[in-house]
Structure 1
Amino acid sequence: MRTSTVRRASVRRASTAVALAASAVLAAAVPAFAHVTVQPGTATQGAWTAVAFRVPDESDTASTTRLEVNLPTDHPVASVSIQPVPGWTATAEKSKLATPLKTDDGDEITEAVTKITWTADATGKIGPGQFQDFKVSLGPLPTDTDRLVFKALQTYDDGTVVRWIEESKDGQAEPQHPAPTLALTKADAGTSADAHGMTASPAAPVAAAAAEPSDDDPTARTLGVIGLVVGVVGAALGVLGLRRRPSA
């Protein structure tokens, strides 16, 4: 009787440990697919690239109807093109630059796009459990910084506004509402200037603009988390089976 009681207590403790471990893993995974992000997350300095602002709807009852993305004014991008999204209207706002951008031909660019706003019609809302990509072509990317931070505001049809504006700091925990960030890497020796006298990668801007965003998206990360949880549960059940096997 005592042996049976001890075994039941061991099973309860192990089950509790498995549940806590699974909950912790899932809780840690939630921010990974709830954020507004840039896809892909990296690009080359001086090159042209196509990115998508990936917007998941994390409300249980409300739909996303508006997205505002602010482009950095301290590291402006000379050329910005927006790919149409069915059910959405895009508006680009330009601002005067404090320091004009110069091309290799000696021309000066005195204003650049500093804000893009997408607004949904009745058919374009992002419903609960859904996401939408908003694609933009950018170039040439600045060469004097290792990242571009795009502060974004996500508006729901119940009036809620989520401000994705917090900048991540190296060596610190990720903030609750991080701003979408595009990491910039150094150009290799094959980088050259394009027909407009602006720095671009050999295949840019045509190939870069046609590139699809990375598949390293929230769905893939979520499936990976689920696999990890299943592995934890399986290992725990295996341990329980060994502990419950009667001794010879």
Structure 2
Amino acid sequence: MRMTPARRLAVSAAAATAVVAFAVPASAHVTVQPGDAQQGGYTAVAFRVPDESDTASTVKLEVNLPMDHPMASVRILPLPGWTATLEKSKLDKPLKSHGQDITEAVSKITWTADDSAKIAPGQFQEFKVSLGALPTDTDKLTFKALQTYDNGDIVRWIDEAKDGQPEPAHPAPVLTLTKAAAAAGDHHGGAPSAAATPSAAAGSSQDAQGDKQTAAKSSDTTARTLGVAGIVVGALGAGLGVAGLRRRSNGSAS
């Protein structure tokens, strides 16, 4: 059967489309969840690892920590079926942590699965880590990772994304760092409360003292008024008593 030019062109286009579709990488990547944390604090993250193979299972994950921004505290959450090892590296400049000098920090974490814990095709796994204190002089941390399959294939998630360019085929997991929230009233033009200022405290003390003096004066005035009233009443009583005695004396004389 002779193939017409039009049919020949259609077959070629279909073949090219199939090749392109096969070459497009899967959209799922090794990522950090959640993708952001606060500078200077401590956080717990999970490295989410999907298995992108149709036939092979993931048996190992290696995560490299950024040594240009080392962290003094790195701890892992045990994961059944996986053995984790932490490697440390010497620091050029010691870290300060709780008043102590830290001369080495974790630079790499490796998780290795036993036969019952492999990540099978169509599945994913999360590897949880506690990190801190997070740096305050950068807005992101990049964790380059290697994913190993049981058929020997290794996918290197180490490419760094660049602004204005398409996402690389195998981007490295990135943790975005945000600035710590300012305390209420700080850097927002808000005035501190009157009770918190020395002048307000002094004013309150003076007001309290003035109230005490006013109350004392009022009490003294009341006492004086009652005293005068008592004297007047006493005088009237004495006058009435004298008048009564005089009447009795006059009656007896007559």
Q: How many corresponding residue pairs?
A: 165
1:190/1:92 CA distance change after superposition, 3 Å: farther
Q: Residue 117 in 1 paired to residue 110 in 2? A: yes
Contact kept in structure 1, 2:25 and 2:169, CA below 8 Å: no
Contact kept in structure 1, 2:42 and 2:134, CA below 8 Å: yes
Secondary structure of the residue that 2:94 maps to in structure 1? strand
Moved over 2 A (4+): 27-30
Which residue number in structure 1 is paired with residue 75 of structure 2?
81
Q: Residue 46 in 1 paired to residue 25 in 2? A: no
List runs of 5+ in structure 1 lacking aligned partners: 1-19, 192-248
Q: Residue 145 in 1 paired to residue 135 in 2? A: no
Deviation at 1:168, TM superposition (A): 0.8
Q: Which amino acid aligns with 2:67?
A: T
Superposed CA deviations along residues 159-195 of structure 1, whole A, max 9, x for unmatched, are 000000001112211100000000001111249xxxx
Deviation at 1:136, TM superposition (A): 0.2
Which residue number in structure 1 is paired with residue 63 of structure 2?
69
Superposed CA deviations along residues 88-112 of structure 1, whole A, max 9, x for unmatched, are 000000111111112363x211100
List runs of 5+ in structure 2 lacking aligned partners: 1-16, 185-254
2: CA distance, partners of 1:179 / 1:29: 15
TM-score of the superposed pair, with normalisation by structure 2: 0.62
Which residue number in structure 1 is paired with residue 193 of structure 2?
none
2: CA distance, partners of 1:96 / 1:55: 29
2: CA distance, partners of 1:45 / 1:76: 13
After TM superposition, the structure 1 = structure 2 runs for residues 146-225 of structure 1, keeping only pairs within 5 Å, are 146-190=139-183
Q: Which amino acid aligns with 1:132?
A: Q
Secondary structure of the residue that 1:81 maps to in structure 2? strand
1: CA distance, partners of 2:102 / 2:67: 13
CA RMSD between the two structures: 2.2
More helix by share: 2
Please identify the structure whose Cα radius of gyration is greater: 2
Q: Residue 95 in 1 paired to residue 78 in 2? A: no
Q: Which amino acid aligns with 1:101?
A: L
Q: Which structure's relative contact order is higher, taking Cα pairs within 8 Å and 6+ residues apart?
A: 1
Contact kept in structure 1, 2:64 and 2:145, CA below 8 Å: yes
Q: Which amino acid aligns with 2:139?
A: D
2: CA distance, partners of 1:81 / 1:92: 9
